[in-house]
Amino acid sequence: MLFTIQVNNKKIRAEKGETILSALNRNGIIIPTLCRMKDFSPTGACRMCVVEVEGRDRLVTACSQPVEEWMKINTHSPRVLTARKTNVELLLSNHPDDCLYCDKNTNCELQRLAGELNIRERRIRAKKIKPRLDQSSPAIIRELSKCIICGRCVRVCEEVVTATSIDFIYRGSRIHVGPAMDRDFNFSSCINCGQCVLVCPTGALHEKHNISEVQEYLNNPAFMKVIQYSPVVPAGIAEELGVKYSRDFDKTLNSVLRKIGFEKVFASGTGTDLFIREMAEQLKEQVENGRDTIFISACPAWIKYAEQFMPEIIPMLSTVKCPQQITGSLIKTLVADQAGLKPEKIFSVSATPCTAMKFEARRDGMMRKGISDIDSVLTVRELGRLIRLYGIDVTNSDSEQADSPMEGFSSSAALSEITGGLAESIVRSFSYAEYKKEVDKQYFKKIRSGGSFREALIPVEQYQIRVAVIDGLAGLEKLKQSIDAGNKYHLVEVMACPGGCINGAGMPFRNQKDDRKNLAKLIYQADENDAIGLPEKSPVLINLYEKLIKENEEISDKKIFHTHYIKRNVLL
Amino acid sequence: MSADIDTIMKKYRSGKREDMIPLLQEIQDENGYLSEEIIVKIGRFTGLSTTKIYGLATFYDQFRFFPAGRITIKICHGTSCFLNGSQAVINKIREETGLVSGQTSRDGLLSYEIVTCMGGCNHGPLINVNGNYYPGVKPEQIPELLGKLRYILESD
C-alpha cells in the first residue's frame, strides 16, 4: 500500500512496511549510514542515519524505523546535521590520524563521512587507543586502534560465514573486536575468508600485505620470478585500475606483469582445468562404485571450516589440491626442470581474488622437501598496487600470451570463479571424457542461481548425478537438513564467499554488487561462445596431461596434485 | 568439580541463548571463575560459539576468567564513595599491590576489584574484604590493612 509522507516540506510516496531510509533513498534523498549493511536487518547502532520526525522528541534512526502515514520528516535540519557531525567527531576523537599510511585510504567510509559532513578540525579530543596490532594470521590483520565498533564484521562472521570467530569483547571504553578468550587470529576459528575485510568501513581489518616481499625478490637476480593469476584477476585488476574490462585484457595483463619483472606468467586457470579433470576422475569412480559423497576442495576457507567444524566429513573431502596449489606445484617441478633450475631458485607468486589463499599457501602438505609450491600470494588489490607502483599504463600495453606450459584454460575454468561453476564443470568434464557427450546446460540452471543452498539432478548417460551447491557457508545448515532427511549427493561444492570467488575478499573494495553480476554474466556468455568449453578440449591441458606430466618422472604419478587434511584444534 | 558443572548444565538443558547469563553465574558460583575449559564445555553444550560466550561474559563485570585471590577486596567507586575519596583509596591499593583491578597477584593471595555500589553510601569510602565491610577507609590505612591480611594468610 502506497501513501504520501512529507519530507523536507515536499511530498513523497512511501510504502507501508518499509523503513524511512528505503523510502527516502527511493525518492533520491541520501542519508549517510555506517553500521548498515545491505541484506541485513538494521541495528541502529551507529546513529548516523538519524532524522527528525515532527512530534517526536528524539531523533529517530531512519534505517530501522518503519515509515508511517502521519510522518513529517526533516532529513537535513540543523539539529540532524549537528547530531550526525557530532557522531563522526566522536568516532574521530580517538582515531589515529594516519590516513596517509592506512590501507583503506580513499576507500574509507569514515573518511568519506568526515568529508561529507564537512569536518575540518578535531573538535573533540580523547585518549587514543594504544595501537594493538594483530599480525598473527597469514591472511588478515587486525588493527584495533582503527576500529569504530560498528559491528559489521561481527555480524558477517556470524550470519554469513557462520564461523562466529569474532565478537565484541568487554564493553565501554575497553570494548574491542576479537576472537574467543581475546586470543590472536592464529589461534582462533577464523577461516581467513576475509568477508569481514570487505565490510570493514575503516582500515581496522585488512589483508596481510606481501608486496614488499615480492618487490624484494623482483630485485634479486638469483631467482626466477614467476607469477600465476586466477581467471577472475584480470577483471578485478581492470576494476581496481578503473579500466573497462574485456576478455582481451587478460592478454594485456600478461605484458603488464612482464613489465613489472616477472619472467614467466602463467594462468592458474590451467591448474583449474587440471583440478576439474582430476575431480572428474574422482566423480567417475564415485558414480560407478558408489563411494561416499565428494566435497569439492577448491575453496581454502571452506577447507579450514570443515577441518574445524565438521571433522566427520574430512574423509569425504576431495584430496585434490586447490587450483592455485596445483599450478604452483607444476611450477616448482615441470617449469623448474624446463628452465634447468632448482625449485628453490624459483620465486613463485600467485595473484588471487582470495585472502584465504594466503593461508592455503602455508598449509602443511603444500610444500615438498621444505620448498613451498607458492612463495607469496597477492590479492587483486595488492597486485593493482604493485602495477601502480611500477608505473605501468595498462591502457598502453601490448597483448601477449602467457607462458607455456600453462598459458591457457577452458571456459570451464573461468566458470569455477562463480558459485556452482566448479560442480558444473566437473559434471561436464566427466560426461565428455566418458561418453564424448556434452550435458545440456539447462540442467545446470538450478545450481547457477537460487539461494545459499542449491541442488540439481543431472542426467549423464545411465547415471543421475545429484549435485548440491552451497553459496556462502550459511547454506550448510540446509545441506545438513537435506542429508539428515535421507538425501544423498554425489558431489557437493561449497564456496565460502557468497557468489563465489568473484566476490572474494581480495577483490577491489569500491564495488557495487551489480558490477559483479555483470562480471558473472560476462563469464557465462564467454562460456556459451568459447570454443574451448571443456578442459578436455584445451590444447594446453592435453599437452600437459598427455605429454609433459607423463614424461616427468617426478610428477607422473600425479601425487603432487593431492594433499591431506587434519582435524584442527581451535576454540570453536 | 566437572561433575557439578555437568549437573548445573543439565538444569539448562535446552541450551537457549537467554539462559546463558544464569548458567554462567551458577557455574562461576560453583567454580569461582570461568576457565577456558569451562567456556569450551558450555559452548559444546549449548551449541554456541566460544567467541559468543566469551564476548557475552566479558560484557559483565561480574564474570572472572582466572581464579580470584584468597583475599578479594572490593572497593566501592559509586557516586557517594567517589565523593568521599574512593579514588585515593584505589590509587593506594594499586600502588601497594602493583595490581590492576581484576588482576590476581602471582602468589594467588590477593586480588581486588572496583565495584559501583555496595549499598553503604553513608559509610564511604567503603571496602569489602572477603565479605567483611570496612567503612570510611582512608588511604593511609591501606598498608597496615594489607599487612595484617597477609600475615593472617601466611600464618595459616
Structural domain contains residue A85: no
Structural domain contains residue A87: no
CATH code: domain of residue A321: 3.40.50.1780
- Mean pLDDT, range A291-298, rounded to an integer: 90
How far does A492 lie from chain B, in Å, by closest CA? 25
CATH code: domain of residue A96: 3.30.70.20
Domain-terminating residue out of A207, A228, A248: A207
pLDDT at position A303: 95
Q: Which residue of A has its CA nearest to B57?
A: A170
Residues in chain A with CB shorter than 8 Å from the CB of B65 are 181
Structural domain contains residue A401: yes
- Among A162, A170, A176, the residue to mutate for chain B (most B Cβ within 10 A): A170
Interior angle at CA A254, CA A251 and CA A255, nearest 5: 100
pTM of the model: 0.91
> Looking at the partner chain, which of A170, A171, A180 has a beta carbon nearest the beta carbon of B51?
A180
Q: Are both A29 and A140 inside the same structural domain? A: no
Beta bridge partners of B104: B111
Express as a percent the part of chain A with pLDDT over 90. 77
Provide the b/e sequence for A423-440 (b: ≥16 CB within 10 Å).
bbbbbbbbbbbbeeeebe
Q: Are both A329 and A474 inside the same structural domain? A: yes
Q: Are both A228 and A305 inside the same structural domain? A: yes
- Mean pLDDT, range B2-12, rounded to an integer: 80
Q: Are both A131 and A19 inside the same structural domain? A: no
CATH code: domain of residue A15: 3.10.20.740
Asked if ipTM goes beyond 0.85, one says yes
Q: Which residue range(s) make up the domain with A340?
A: 212-561
Q: Are both A241 and A344 inside the same structural domain? A: yes
Q: Are both A189 and A219 inside the same structural domain? A: no
Q: Which residue of B has its CA nearest to A172?
A: B59
Q: Are both A48 and A122 inside the same structural domain? A: no
Residues in chain B with CB shorter than 8 Å from the CB of A170 are 58-59
- Mean pLDDT, range B57-84, rounded to an integer: 88
Structural domain contains residue A99: yes
Residues in chain B with CB shorter than 8 Å from the CB of A180 are 39, 49-51, 53-54
User: How far apart are the C-alpha atoms of A93 and A121, rounded to whole Å?
Assistant: 10
Q: Are both A454 and A481 inside the same structural domain? A: yes
A153-166 tens-digit pLDDT = 999 999 999 999 99
Domain-terminating residue out of A192, A207, A222: A207
More confident residue, A293 or B150: A293
Structural domain contains residue A83: no
Domain-terminating residue out of A25, A47, A76: A76
Q: Are both A194 and A334 inside the same structural domain? A: no
Torsion of CA A166, A171, A173, A175, to 10 degrees: -10
Q: Are both A429 and A515 inside the same structural domain? A: yes
Three-state SS string over A49-92 comes to: CEEEECCCCCCEECCCCECCCCCEEECCCHHHHHHHHHHHHHHH
Q: Are both A216 and A137 inside the same structural domain? A: no
Domains: count for chain A: 3
* pLDDT at residue A378 is higher than 90: yes
Q: Are both A172 and A309 inside the same structural domain? A: no
- Mean pLDDT, range A171-179, rounded to an integer: 89
Domains of chain B: 2-59 (1.10.10), 71-154 (3.40.30.10)
- Mean pLDDT, range A231-239, rounded to an integer: 94
Whether residue B49 and residue A181 make contact (CB cut-off 8 A), yes or no, is: no
pLDDT at position A130: 79
Residues in chain B with CB shorter than 8 Å from the CB of A165 are 49, 51
Structural domain contains residue A84: no
